[in-house]
Structure 1
Amino acid sequence: MHKVEVNVGANVTEANRREAEENREHLDEHGVKAVDILGAVGSGKTMLIEKLTPILQKRGMKVGAIVGDCYGDDDYQRIHSLKIPTQNLNTGTECHLDAHMVHHALHKLPLDDINFLFIENVGNMVCPTDFPVGSHKRVVIVSVTEGDDVVNKHPAMFRECEIGIINKVDLAEAVGASVERMERDMKRHNSNIKILKTNLKKGVGVEELADMLLKN
């Protein structure tokens, strides 16, 4: 009897990578720059989009969004209220968006009326790492309320991202978190990552983040 080994995981991630590349080509054809926003539930992903959208619009950008959640449309409703083209993606039992889901959402958006697209991934610090969706940049946001060991516990996420945001820095002392440790851990896992400290609720750091996102 012959033993046959099939690496299903590798096949799935490779197929996703190919479709992500097709998504990127599709975005480029329409002149759209896309940013994938990663982070845990409650880290500030949705608020990041809410705060950045009017700033980007003032700079002449036409903003759109794809919002991912396992279930419901709570975050979608928040982003949709900004009066920008928005698509909601529910993944069911899946803990991440994949390139195929995003492919369908892209074809429902008026890409010719968008030149900057947010893709808010499902709230998870592990699963989205291995599933690029075709964005031009990947941004990870963590909050001090998750504990200052959150970066060290999820190194792969930070290796895959160009920008790392430490949010809710105003609460660091109250929750006993060291922002300096979080910064050190980010740099240790990815020496090229650009780090920004924010208090999104009060708009601290948002203009600087817009500068980072608009840089090639």
Structure 2
Amino acid sequence: MGRFHRHDGDHDHEHEHEHEHDHDHDHGHDHDHPRVDTAPTAAHGDHSGYATESDRVVVLERIFAENDQTAAANRGDFDHAAVTAINLMSSPGAGKTMLLRETLLRLRSRLRIGIVEGDIETSIDADRLDGLGAAVALINTSNGFGGECHLDAPMVRSALGRLPLAELDIVVIENVGNLVCPAEFEVGEHARVMVYSVTEGEEKPLKYPVMFRSADLVLVNKVDLIPHLDFDLDTFYDNLRAVNPDAVTIEISARTGVGLTQWCQWLCDRHEQNRAATVTS
């Protein structure tokens, strides 16, 4: 997992936490991440200058314990309502919102879908989903210092009261665009789906293994652009399998519609599996 550590000189520094956005904000829940590596390895680079502080480890453990407790409560509410929750993650600009628009257009006659829309500022993405038959609960993570770089379980819980869970089949949680932090926080989801754009390069699974490793399904988006890119799809798949050999993949283009039938069927199948498991438990 991405973690913060401290260099000599008593200043915080990020390791394996290279965001696709500015990260100079103050997390409101004491979100310092200690690094626990103690020796350099060929796979992870030279960490010999990093130090672990026990007090920060304790803080981190408390943060995740509290988050996981709320995530379990969220999942309990989803299960009670027979709702399947999907945590949709990606880097900024990978195409999550366009994918959601096309998904709602294709599934609104088959499934009752709710959206938890996470964004740092504005209602731009939530507005793009308006009028498509989905209940949408917007979460802006701005805290006056730039905003949180992810959704956590308490944020999602705050949105559930604004969704008619008893009247829904699926809730898609569109996380903040970021390739690190969203993967670290359970929010009560039943499955994690990552939207990856081919414009991001083949090396991203190796650079951001936490995100790719956490995904149950990777949607390889914007495949219509491959003829115009210096991009090797086979190399991407090799890199993905190196960090997550069990990930399911579907090649899609939210713009042209390629692969969206398979994606929508995956959603329907996942909901049926989850509902069956809930009934028998």
Q: Which TM-score bucket, shorter chain as reference?
A: over 0.9
Helix, strand or coil at the partner of 1:119? strand
Matches of 1:124 and 1:192, distance apart in 2 = 22
For the pair 1:72 / 2:122, whether they are aligned, the reply is: yes
Post-superposition CA distance 1:156-200 (Å, at most 9, x none): 111111001111112123221112112222222111110111111
For the pair 1:117 / 2:171, whether they are aligned, the reply is: yes
Number of equivalent positions? 213
Helix, strand or coil at the partner of 2:132? coil
Preserved CA contact (<8 Å) 1:44 1:200: yes
Higher mean displacement: 188-197 or 174-183: 174-183
Unaligned runs of 5+ in 1: none
For the pair 1:43 / 2:94, whether they are aligned, the reply is: yes
Unaligned runs of 5+ in 2: 1-52, 274-281
Q: Give the alignment partner of residue 181 of structure 1, picking from 235, 240, 243.
A: 235
Preserved CA contact (<8 Å) 1:144 1:169: yes
Helix, strand or coil at the partner of 1:89? strand
Q: 1:105 aligns to what?
A: 159
Residues 30 and 182 of structure 1, relative CA distance in 2, 3 Å threshold: same
Matching of residues 1-216 of structure 1 within 5 Å: 5-6=55-56, 7-58=58-109, 60-92=110-142, 93-215=147-269, 216=273
Deviation at 1:5, TM superposition (A): 3.0
Percentage of identical aligned residues: 33
Matches of 1:5 and 1:166, distance apart in 2 = 40
Deviation at 1:9, TM superposition (A): 1.4
Deviation at 1:132, TM superposition (A): 1.2
Deviation at 1:144, TM superposition (A): 1.1
Preserved CA contact (<8 Å) 2:149 2:176: yes
Q: Which amino acid aligns with 2:123?
A: D
Post-superposition CA distance 1:93-147 (Å, at most 9, x none): 2100010010010111111221111110000000111101111110001101112
Rg: which structure is higher?
Answer: 2
Higher mean displacement: 174-183 or 160-169: 174-183
Residues 12 and 203 of structure 1, relative CA distance in 2, 3 Å threshold: same
Structure with the bigger RCO (C-alpha within 8 Å, sep 6+) is: 1
Higher mean displacement: 67-76 or 9-18: 9-18
Matches of 1:202 and 1:173, distance apart in 2 = 14
Matches of 1:200 and 1:12, distance apart in 2 = 36
Matches of 2:69 and 2:160, distance apart in 1 = 16
Matches of 1:5 and 1:199, distance apart in 2 = 46
Deviation at 1:4, TM superposition (A): 7.3
Helix, strand or coil at the partner of 1:20? helix
Deviation at 1:46, TM superposition (A): 0.6
